Each structure stands twice: as structure tokens, then as C-alpha cells.
Amino acid sequence: MLTKRQKQVLDFITEYSRKNGISPTIDEIRKHFRLNSVATIHQHLESLRSKGYLDRLKNKTRSLSLPKKRSVSDLISKSSRSGFALVPLLGSANAGPATFFAEENIEAYQKVPRTIVRKQSGIFAVRVDGDSMNKASIDGNNLEDGDLAIIDSEYKSPKSGDYVLAVRDGLANLKKFLRDQKTGDVILISESSNPKHKPIKVSSEDDFMINGRIIGVVKR
């Protein structure tokens, strides 16, 4: 994974190098991110180096060197050719009572097999929080606490039986989508070994939307 801060550091180094023809110094990176110590910067740089985003030359003030494939978009392309996609992780979604606010803030980037992700646009991951979907089966994998659910956000018109990321009153839930054939009402179903999780009937007063369909699971 590439964390959000690591991506910010990489983006700063890339843009600085593009504008100035040389890499920034450690102290220039520290000042840009308004940090008092360089220790944290050193940690991020070492992580970027170990993940293949950055080279470091010894005994030089401006020791940072960007490999040929240096940006996140480059890595996405490279991962795609090697049978993987790089998917943004946007936080957690409850697979139980709706208690997590669905903020689309990238925490990291997750490597996902192309057998799950067949396109790049509109795909993201959320972390499962809870046990209300631990009996749901997505291509043979259950949605258990701590797993990553892979979401196709361009899928906005689900059919009965689809597993979806639903946002109700600003709160995110992973559920099974059902529509009552007689009334047209939407019901969000938990599939769990825990009997406390009950169906949620969506009313006309709810602020409700489907934020995508679950297309796969990455086990923790």
C-alpha cells in the first residue's frame, strides 16, 4: 500500500523536480509539510524507496532520484500489465449498524488482482467494519470484519440480490439490495451469523443513495 501522506510526499518531489530540474532537499520537504523534525520525512522516503517509487543516492545533498515509473498513474499502468490494479482505499464502511460517516478520503492504495478488477475507472475499496455480512458470498468470499470490499462506484442502478455500498442519511453500509415487487420499497438485508442484525426498510424520508456494487473481496 501507498499511504495518503506517502503519496503527498511523492507528489511534492515529482512536481518540485519537474519545475526545478533537481530534487528537493530533505529540509525543503520538511518545510513544505511544516514539520519540526526530519525523522518522519526520512521514514516516508525509506518507505517510498522500498516500494519502488523513489531512488536515493548516497552522499549527496539532493539525493532523491525518481525512477522512470515514478507516479501513481504510472504504477497503476504497470500493475495492470502485471495482472494487478492499484485501487484507492477510502476508509471503513460498517457491515452492521450504520455508524461510519462515508467520507471519500484516500487512506492508501491497495493492490487487487485483475480477476476482480477488470477496469480502472470508478473502482475503490472500503474496509469492512462489523459482522452483519459475514455470511454474504462474493465469488466465494465472505465479507468479514477487516476485509476489503471492492466497489464499482459507476454501478448506480442495482437489481434485487446485488450486494451494494448503500449510503443512508450520510452513513455507509454494505448490504444486500432487495426491492419489494409489490410496493417498490427498498430493503437492505444483512446476511450474518449474528441474529441481532435486522433488515432495514428505506423510507421516502431517508436521504438514500447507492454508491456502488460490491464486485470482490480482498481477505485481511
How do residues 119-151 score in pLDDT, each as one tens digit? 878 899 999 988 999 999 998 999 999 999 999
Task: Please return the burial class of 59, using the count of CB atoms within 10 Å of its CB with bins 0-12, 13-18 and 19+.
Answer: exposed
Among 148, 147, 142, 151, smallest CA distance to 117 is for 151
**Picking from 12-26, 87-101, 193-207, which range would have the lowest pLDDT averaged per residue?**
87-101
- Classify strands 163-168 and 208-218 as parallel, antiparallel or unpaired: antiparallel
* Structure confidence at residue 70 (pLDDT): 45
CA 135, 140, 146, 151 torsion-angle sign: negative
Fold of 76-218: Umud Fragment, subunit A (2.10.109)
A 10 A CB-CB count for 203 gives: 10
Q: Which amino acid is at 1?
A: M
Provide CB contacts within 8 A for 110, sequence distance 6+: 1, 86, 87, 88, 89, 125, 148, 218
Mean per-residue pLDDT over the chain, rounded: 83
pLDDT at 69 over 50: no
pLDDT confidence of 59, banded at 50, 70, 90?
A: low
Tell me the pLDDT band of 160, cut-offs 50, 70 and 90.
Answer: very high
In the predicted model, is pLDDT for residue 175 greater than 90? Answer: yes
Question: Phi and psi at residue 136, in whole multiples of 5°?
Answer: -70, 140
Highest mean pLDDT among 31-40, 189-198, 205-214: 189-198
Q: How many residues does the chain have?
A: 220
Sign of the Cα torsion 57, 60, 66, 72 reads: positive
Judged against a pLDDT cut of 60, whether residue 183 lies above it is answered with yes
Q: Judge whether 20 and 27 are in contact, CB under 8 Å.
A: no
Catalytically annotated residues: 132, 175
- Amino acid 68: pLDDT: 55
- The confidence score (pLDDT) of residue 162 equals 96
Has residue 30 got a pLDDT over 50? yes
Instruction: Please state, for a pLDDT cut of 90, what percent of the chain lies above it.
Output: 31
Question: 4-70 has which fold?
Answer: Arc Repressor Mutant, subunit A (1.10.10)
What's phi and psi for 45, nearest 5 deg?
A: -65, -40
The single-letter DSSP state of residue 61 is S
Facing residues of 165 across strands?
174
Q: What is the rounded average pLDDT of the residues 193-208?
A: 89
Q: Within the chain, how many helices (H) and strands (E) appear?
A: 4, 13
pLDDT, mean of residues 9-34: 88
Grid coordinates standing for 36? 519540526
- The answer to whether the pTM exceeds 0.85 is no
pLDDT of residue 49: 82
Radius of gyration of the chain (CA): 21
pLDDT, greater one: 49 or 74:
49
The residues spanned by each domain of the chain are: 4-70, 76-218
Nine-digit cell string for 176: 444486500
